[in-house]
């Protein structure tokens, strides 16, 4: 079975985390002599780049796929200041990666597929015309994030459990990922193995537990007025970024998602890039892009011809 190439990008000195920090990414070269685009895939809060293996295998006939390990996850270096584990840091990091990928293949378009946190990073980058993204896929995330979903995620992310066996780790990850929807035992294993590392005589999760520090600091705020003000400010900033996006946008939503509300998804189809929304029944947060029906929606969107300019064909 085809495997990706693990590569590293040295980030400039002065980035969050100090000098010498590296960003890891999994490179799936295209089988086409001239790829339609390079698809940059970015995972959720506690995940890593191998989440996109099934999607990459389906796309590489026409596209190059670059699946990132965001800072502190997978094979990317950890940050010295845990409070830097936030979207603004990741937007800067991934901006450097986009420039690097563009320099490798000048003239090849850049697309983005972002799950949850990866979608928020994509909103930040796509709102800046200079990044030059061609198409944007947001997987179960938008400018409004339900507080109860953050509380659920905060209940487990950043834990550093030890497992006696790889299978015990796989079982644990499946237990906290019920929102992904139905998967076979093999699919759970394929999604979970890259999340585990053999260390200190057992198996542990791949990420820096400190990635949870900013989230826990936010969830520690208990004053209702302060929470309301914090949430309102965050939503205002994200809506402003979303409204600035001018590229074709696909929004995927798990019909049972506890993070992306139906009202938010509907509003995203009405404003900004006016995303096309596709829902998947029986799935919560977030679709894993493993099943063929989910993959096909993304593949068809990335290969669709450009929409005609206003007035063309009228």
pLDDT of amino acid 31:
96
161 domain residue, yes or no: no
| pLDDT tens per residue, range 160-178 | 899 999 999 999 999 999 8
- Contact between 241 and 133 under an 8 Å Cβ cutoff? The reply is no
Across-strand partners of 191?
A: none
Q: Cβ distance 62 to 303 under 8 Å?
A: yes
Is the pLDDT confidence value at 19 over 70? no
pTM, two decimal places: 0.95
Rounded Cα distance between 41 and 68, Å, is 6
- pLDDT of 308 reads 63
On the question of pLDDT at 314 being above 80, the answer is: no
Average pLDDT of the residues in 8-21:
80
**Rounded to an integer, what distance in angstroms lies between the CA atom of residue 125 and that of residue 312?**
29
Q: What share of the chain is helix, strand, coil (3-state, %, to 5)?
A: 40, 20, 40
> Within a domain: residue 169?
no
Order across the sheet with 22-28: list the strands.
5-10, 22-28, 64-69, 37-42, 109-115, 133-139, 249-254, 276-280
Q: What is the pLDDT of residues 111-134, one digit of tens each?
A: 999 999 999 999 999 999 999 999
Q: Which residues pair with 216 in a beta bridge?
A: none
Region of poorest pLDDT, from 99-103, 202-206, 307-311: 307-311
In a domain, 204, yes or no: no
Whole-angstrom Cα distance, residue 298 to residue 295? 5
Q: Is the pLDDT of residue 201 over 90?
A: no
Length of the chain: 314
Residue 292 placed within a domain: yes
Ranking 223-232, 281-290, 296-305 by mean pLDDT, the lowest is: 223-232
Domain containing residue 75: CATH number? 3.40.50.1820
Our count of domains for the chain comes to: 1
Residue 210 domain flag: no
DSSP-assigned letters across all residues of 20-83: T-EEEEEEE--SSSS-SEEEEEE--TT--GGGGHHHHHHHTTT-EEEEEE-TTSTTSPPPSSGG
Computed on alpha carbons and rounded to an integer, the radius of gyration of the chain in Å comes to: 19
Give domain status of residue 125, yes or no: yes
Secondary structure E strands in the chain: 5-10, 22-28, 37-42, 64-69, 109-115, 133-139, 162-163, 196-199, 202-205, 249-254, 276-280
Q: Sort 79 into a burial class: Cβ within 10 Å, 0-12 / 13-18 / 19+.
A: buried
pLDDT of residue 155: 87
Q: What is the pLDDT of residue 312?
A: 41
Exposure on the CB side of residue 107, measured as CA atoms within 13 A:
2
Asked if residue 219 is part of any domain, the answer here is no
CA pair distance 29, 137, nearest whole angstrom: 20
Q: Is residue 251 part of a domain?
A: yes
- Paired tokens of 235: 């939503």
Residue 13 has pLDDT above 50, yes or no: yes
pLDDT tops 60 at residue 309: no
Over the range 118-154, which residues count as b (16 or more CB within 10 Å of their CB) and which as e? bbbbbbbbbbeeebebbbbbbbbbbbbbeeebbebbb
Question: Cα(148)–Cα(126) distance, rounded to whole angstroms?
Answer: 27
C-alpha dihedral sign at 32, 96, 114, 82: positive
| Contact assessment for residue 290 and residue 183, using Cβ atoms and an 8 Å cutoff | yes
Domain that holds residue 99: 5-142+238-303
Which is more confident, 66 or 230? 66
């Amino acid at each position: 079975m085809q495997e990706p190439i693990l590569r590293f990008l040295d980030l400039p000195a002065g980035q969050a985390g100090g000098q010498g920090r590296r960003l890891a990414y999994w490179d799936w070269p295209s089988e086409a002599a001239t790829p339609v685009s390079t698809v940059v895939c970015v995972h959720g809060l506690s995940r890593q780049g191998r989440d996109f293996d099934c999607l990459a295998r389906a796309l590489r006939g026409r596209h190059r796929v670059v699946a990132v390990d965001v800072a502190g996850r997978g094979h990317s270096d950890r940050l010295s200041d845990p409070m830097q584990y936030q979207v603004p840091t990741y937007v800067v990091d991934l901006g450097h990666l986009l420039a690097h990928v563009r320099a490798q293949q000048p003239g090849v378009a850049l697309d983005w597929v972002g799950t949850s946190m990866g979608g928020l990073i994509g909103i930040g980058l796509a709102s800046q015309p200079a990044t030059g993204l061609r198409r944007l896929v947001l997987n179960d995330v938008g400018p409004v994030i339900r507080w109860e979903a953050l509380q659920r995620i905060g209940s487990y992310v950043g834990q550093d459990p030890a497992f006696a066996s790889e299978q015990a780790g796989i079982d644990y990850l499946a237990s906290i990922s019920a929102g992904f929807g139905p998967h076979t035992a093999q699919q759970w294993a394929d999604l979970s193995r890259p999340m585990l590392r053999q260390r200190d005589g057992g198996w542990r999760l791949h990420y820096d537990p400190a990635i949870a520090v900013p989230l826990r600091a936010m969830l520690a705020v208990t004053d209702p007025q302060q929470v309301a003000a914090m949430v309102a400010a965050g939503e205002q900033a994200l809506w402003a970024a979303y409204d600035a996006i001018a590229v074709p946008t696909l929004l995927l939503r798990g019909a049972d998602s506890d993070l992306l509300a139906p009202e938010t998804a509907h509003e995203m189809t009405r404003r900004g890039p006016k995303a096309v929304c596709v829902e998947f029944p029986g799935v919560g947060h977030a679709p894993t892009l493993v099943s063929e029906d989910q993959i096909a929606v993304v593949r068809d969107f990335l290969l669709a011809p450009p929409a005609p300019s206003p007035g063309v064909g009228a």
